Amino acid sequence: MSDLYIGLMSGTSMDGIDAALVRFGDASLEVLETHEHAYPAPLRERLAEAIRLSSARSLANVESLHRNVGLCFRDAAMTLLEKANVDQSSVTAIGSHGQTIRHEPNAPEPYSLQVGDGTVIAADTGITTISDFRTADIELGGQGAPLAPAFHEWLFRRPGTDRVILNVGGISNVTMLHGDGSDTTGFDTGPGNTLLDAWIGRHRGEAFDRDGGWAAQGQVNNILLERLLADPYFAAPPPKSTGFEYFNLEWLDTFDIGEHEPADVQATLGALSANSITDAIRGNADEVLVCGGGIHNRELMRRIRDRLPGVDVAATTSAGLDPDWVEAVAFAWLAMRTTRGLPGNLPAVTGASHPAVLGITHRAIW
């Protein structure tokens, strides 16, 4: 059997689908090809609306998004294979995260909903596709998130070193690999880029604050920062996970931010991400390996480094994996785990009652 897998991931930033073609060995991996696939603008708009407005989550609209996002993920996989010049018959499985529309692990009837129909992907690629990775963990009482920690542990654990893997996506999450061999822990720390993207979108119509240049022009307002940090999410004990449905402009608007200079708010939001991230890490790390799009935000990374004196903060590149592809590779790895009948969640992270083989397997249709 081949050991080639594809991982497809799109996070809360909705900046595009990350696709990675990966070969797995027993304790190693090789990334053969990567591809970043943009959503067509109208589909991205529809997704943003469905995330924002409950009225946009009618059954017919969600079904339509499920199919159309599935088609887009299929295109990402097909383009990836073309670039790699690899035939689909040599790929064992695709692990497709899909696009989260709603993540409610703490609701009385908990769920996490991703659109991007695995059957559509399997039918059109001829490759068995695993999707819906979060539900099994939620049914076992877990958060269904974060799911990358088991992969981080497999790839990055280093006996004798307290290593933290920090993923700065729309939401930030940490994985704590303990040097003493105790159970890996981890959780969502709160906003990464999502509020920075939303605020610059509102004031300047830009998708993101390139290199943190706008934030660097502002002054952090410490009173506002303290009020934002007083949100109960930050002090809540793990297991915990969050999303765009919580940390968004409506949340920010509850703090009467209108009286401040927009650039000062951007600087303060950068400090909010940096402080909540470093509060979670401080005292737990000899070394921090960073991945996710936030690593390109120079101002944010400067703040994170400043608050972790004596800790070695570096990109995951130093441990052999490009920081832009860690999440997509994690879903290729999760597909490999499921295909081999192995669990993909870490109960010490998600709070699930036990490990589980994750996802729904959509058999290849020829």
From 9-17, 64-72, 126-134, 234-242, give the range in contact with ligand ADP by CB under 6 A.
9-17
From 11-19, 118-126, 135-143, 186-194, give the range in contact with Mg ion by CB under 5 A.
11-19
Dihedral of the alpha carbons of 132, 137, 143, 144, in degrees to the nearest 10: -30
Answer for which of 117, 153, 209, 287 binds ligand ADP (CB under 6 A) is 209
Q: Count of H helices and E strands in the chain?
A: 14, 13
Q: How far is the CB of 197 from Mg ion (least distance, A)?
A: 11
18-37 residues in contact with ligand ADP (CB under 6 A) are: none
Say whether residue 15 binds ligand ADP (CB under 6 A): yes
Nearer to ligand ADP, 11 or 351 (CB): 11
Say whether residue 292 binds ligand ADP (CB under 6 A): yes
CA distances from 130 to 92, 96, 201, 265, 363 (A): 11, 6, 34, 41, 9
Dihedral of the alpha carbons of 59, 111, 118, 91, in degrees to the nearest 10: 170
296 binding partner (options ligand ADP, Mg ion, none; Cβ < 5 to 8 Å by kind): ligand ADP
15-54 residues in contact with Mg ion (CB under 5 A) are: 15
Nearer to Mg ion, 70 or 169 (CB): 169
Answer for which of 116, 170, 190, 243 binds ligand ADP (CB under 6 A) is 170
Answer for which of 4, 5, 8, 12 binds ligand ADP (CB under 6 A) is 12
Tokens 């290849």, located at residue: 364
Distance CA 292, CA 171 (A): 10
Say whether residue 297 binds ligand ADP (CB under 6 A): yes
- End-to-end, the C-alpha distance of the chain in Å comes to 18
Say whether residue 243 binds ligand ADP (CB under 6 A): no
Nearer to ligand ADP, 167 or 350 (CB): 167
Distance CA 215, CA 200 (A): 9
DSSP assignment of 24-83: E-SS-EEEEEEEEEPPPHHHHHHHHHHHH-GGG--HHHHHHHHHHHHHHHHHHHHHHHHH
Taking CB under 6 A as the rule, which mask of x and - marks residues 310-349 in contact with ligand ADP? -----------------x----------------------
Task: Please name the helix (run of DSSP H) or strand (run of DSSP E) that holds residue 122, with its range, or none.
Answer: helix 118-125
From 126-134, 261-269, 272-280, 291-299, give the range in contact with ligand ADP by CB under 6 A.
291-299
In 172-297, which ranges are continuous DSSP H helix? 194-204, 213-217, 222-229, 232-235, 249-253, 262-281
214 phi/psi in degrees, rounded to 5: -70, -45
From 91-99, 108-116, 118-126, 193-201, give the range in contact with ligand ADP by CB under 6 A.
193-201
Answer for which of 5, 8, 11, 167 binds Mg ion (CB under 5 A) is 11
Say whether residue 273 binds ligand ADP (CB under 6 A): no
Name residues whose C-beta falls within 8 Å of residue 199's C-beta, 6 or more positions apart in sequence. Answer: 249, 252, 262, 265, 266, 269
Say whether residue 100 binds ligand ADP (CB under 6 A): no
Q: Which residues bind ligand ADP (CB under 6 A)?
A: 11-13, 15, 169-170, 193, 196-197, 208-212, 292-294, 296-297, 327
